[in-house]
Structure formats: C-alpha cells, structure tokens
C-alpha cells in the first residue's frame, strides 16, 4: 500500500511552459485534492474532486486545470506556467467527507520553480 504518490518531486519550468503534476492513490479514496504551499502561508486549496468525473474549484484555482477519469488518479495541469506558480504542491486524499472518513492523507509534495 503506497498511499498517495506524486511525481515528479522537483521540477523547473520556464515561463509559458506547460506541465502535468501526477498524483495517484491506492486506498480507494473518493475524495482527492490539490493544495499549494507558499513561504509563510499554510496550504491553500487549488482544486478538488469528490469522485471520478467530478471536480470543483478551491480557493486558488486560476492557472490550473484538473480532471478525474479514474478513482486512483488526479493530475494537475499548468497550461502556461508563471513565476507566481512557484510553490510546493501537495496532493491529498480521503475516504470521503464527514464522520470518521474525512481525514486527509498527503503525498510527499512536488517543488516547482518557474523561471
């Protein structure tokens, strides 16, 4: 059981380039989400998904796209990278919402630098 995995661990992009951050979980969790962490800030929600085929925006969605075609995978796409997107990105998953099922488990993070 690998939990939540993210690739790559580090990435450097030039302004305007596109890329996809990969996230996968093997816990059969319905809910998956993407956060970004900036210095001096907590984690802020970018996008989330409550199940395959269902996604929604979080607090800071601009510049990012997501899709969820399977329960296991939830990739985050940067269409045209900007220096303001330099950050550490975390993927998280939980069994569901409410009750005892909303504890989120995090991946190891991806450090992205946009030059």
Partner 1 sequence: AQTVTQSQPEMSVQEAETVTLSCTYDTSENNYYLFWYKQPPSRQMILVIRQEAYKQQNATENRFSVNFQKAAKSFSLKISDSQLGDTAMYFCAFANLNGYALNFGKGTSLLVTP
Q: Which of 68, 69, 100, 105 is nearest to 90 (CA)?
A: 105
Minimum CB separation from partner 1 for residue 100, in Å? 8
According to DSSP, the β-strands at 10-13 and 110-114 are: parallel
Minimum CB separation from partner 1 for residue 78, in Å? 20
Contact mark string toward partner 1, 59..78, x via CB under 8 A: x-------------------
CB under 8 A: which stretch of 14-22, 44-52, 68-76, 79-87 binds partner 1?
44-52
What is the rounded end-to-end Cα distance, in angstroms, of the chain? Answer: 36
Q: Is 88 in the site for partner 1 (CB under 8 A)?
A: yes
Q: Could you tell me the CA-to-CA distances from 75 to 6, 14, 20, 21, 82 in Å, in that order?
A: 9, 20, 6, 6, 18
Judged by the rule CB under 8 A, the positions of this chain that interact with partner 1 are 31, 33, 35, 40-45, 48, 50, 58-59, 88, 90, 92, 94, 97-98, 102-106, 108-109, 111
């Amino acid at each position: 059981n690998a939990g939540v995995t993210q690739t790559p661990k580090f990435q450097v992009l030039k302004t305007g380039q596109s890329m996809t951050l990969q996230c996968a979980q093997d816990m059969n969790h319905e809910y998956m989400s993407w956060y970004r962490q900036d210095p001096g800030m907590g984690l802020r929600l970018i996008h989330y998904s409550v199940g395959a085929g269902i996604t929604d925006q979080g607090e800071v969605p601009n510049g990012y796209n997501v899709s969820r075609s399977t329960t296991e995978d939830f990739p985050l796409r940067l269409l045209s990278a900007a220096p303001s997107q330099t950050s550490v990105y975390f993927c998280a998953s939980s069994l569901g919402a409410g009750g005892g099922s909303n504890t989120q488990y995090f991946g190891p993070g991806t450090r992205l630098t946009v030059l």
